[in-house]
Structure 1
């Protein structure tokens, strides 16, 4: 018995693939889409080892092995307790404003810091979730992409945009050697291609061009009639009716 192919899509925390998954289900209802939620650090590894056909991951990735299409760039925010003095800021804050704060740098950080602002913590939290717990304990603050601040939302925490902080870029990535028709189909979905413009197997078949109608034969031209001129009361292509007098014949002689 033949088993329908499936498509495995990995995605890292903060990324929401729901809208693309719905389009996939509409276009390829016979191909199951398996969504694999993975830690940020594992997305590239899954693609390399062939455990996923494609992934919504955070850049950078190894361009020698993986192809990547950048999708969007996220705003960076600083997360802190609601009682923190930063809560009084109505606009964006700057990295310099964090000089006196302990700034956590979790091991699964996605911002790629070269010079972390503020004061360093005694040790790095294992995950962003662990760092959020320390922020809630009023030990320090945390800089993350806005989607991660929403993912780890707590009532006792809030955040503000940091305009001069590094930003995280989300991309669709897949192994270069496995650019299959299904990968092309998903590329078309995230790029907003219509069904007819898609390059994958979900594309609608091309319609055959309509045949041109056969040309009409030209009607013989009467003597004294100009080219293209119609006889009075005559429709195009219609033969002229015989004269009424000719139809009655000659009048009979009286007896």
Structure 2
């Protein structure tokens, strides 16, 4: 039977939803495909993926997108940086700091904090390497900070900046039953929810009937 290809961007963990899919639709394989944030929307438009878990904002032309949850924004710093003395950081704390702004940045900035380094790294992973070298600091969603964890780096929550929003996206003209099942899973609907399509029913096994107790034969009179 044809499977379902679900893409996901770095930092998003679809394992729980994948397990639920397998429990509810065991005959339809779910293939998980990690993709970059930049290419995710186009892969769905070209039908190379049936749906994708990505971060908003995106160009929604030809796509549906339903927000699922919001990620906390953090600043990644060397472990010996003075900022680590605080439990939480504000944008004012970064005013004099050199900041890295990778080209694959997923946050919707109006004015990024700090003094931006003009030479922008291409990827978040490259920016993390530069933080470790002492070149600058980096602001990312918390899941990306965890993904690129290093022993010589840490991070602190950052207030007063945009948060990233993870969403499920799929083509506007491809909202079939499998997509509806996936929507139900990521939104936490139960199997018996009336809002989703009906799952194929399995025949219940007939319970074995107890055997009748053997009847005693009447004794013959002599």
Give me the whole-angstrom Cα distance separating, in 1, the residues matched to 2:61 and 2:130.
Answer: 38
Q: CA RMSD in A?
A: 1.7
Q: Is the 8 A contact 1:7 1:34 kept in 2?
A: yes
Q: Decide which moves more: 115-124 or 140-149.
A: 115-124
For the structure 1 residues 33 and 188, does the alpha-carbon distance in structure 2 shift closer, same or farther, using more than 3 Å as the test? same
Residue equivalent to 2:214: none
Residue 88 of structure 2 corresponds to residue 92 of structure 1: yes
Spell out, residue by residue over 1:162-189, the C-alpha distance to the aligned partner (whole angstroms, 9 max, x if none).
Answer: 1111110000110010111100010111
Q: Is the 8 A contact 1:184 1:199 kept in 2?
A: no
Q: How does 1:150-229 map to 2 (within 5 A)?
A: 150-197=146-193, 203=199, 205=201
State the TM-score, normalizing by the size of structure 1: 0.76
Residue equivalent to 2:5: 8
Give me the whole-angstrom Cα distance separating, in 1, the residues matched to 2:84 and 2:197.
Answer: 51
Residue equivalent to 1:220: none
Give me the whole-angstrom Cα distance separating, in 2, the residues matched to 1:113 and 1:201.
Answer: 39
State the TM-score, normalizing by the size of structure 2: 0.87
Give me the whole-angstrom Cα distance separating, in 2, the residues matched to 1:78 and 1:144.
Answer: 6
Aligned with 1:22 (options 19, 25, 42)? 19
Give the CA deviation at 1:63.
3.1
Give the CA deviation at 1:122.
3.1
Residue equivalent to 2:144: 148
Residue 56 of structure 2 corresponds to residue 59 of structure 1: yes
Q: Secondary structure at the match of 1:130?
A: helix
Q: Secondary structure at the match of 2:173?
A: helix
The structure having more radius of gyration, on CA atoms, is: 1
Number of residue-to-residue matches in the alignment = 203
Residue equivalent to 1:115: 111
Gap regions ≥5 residues in structure 2: 203-222
Q: Secondary structure at the match of 1:178?
A: coil
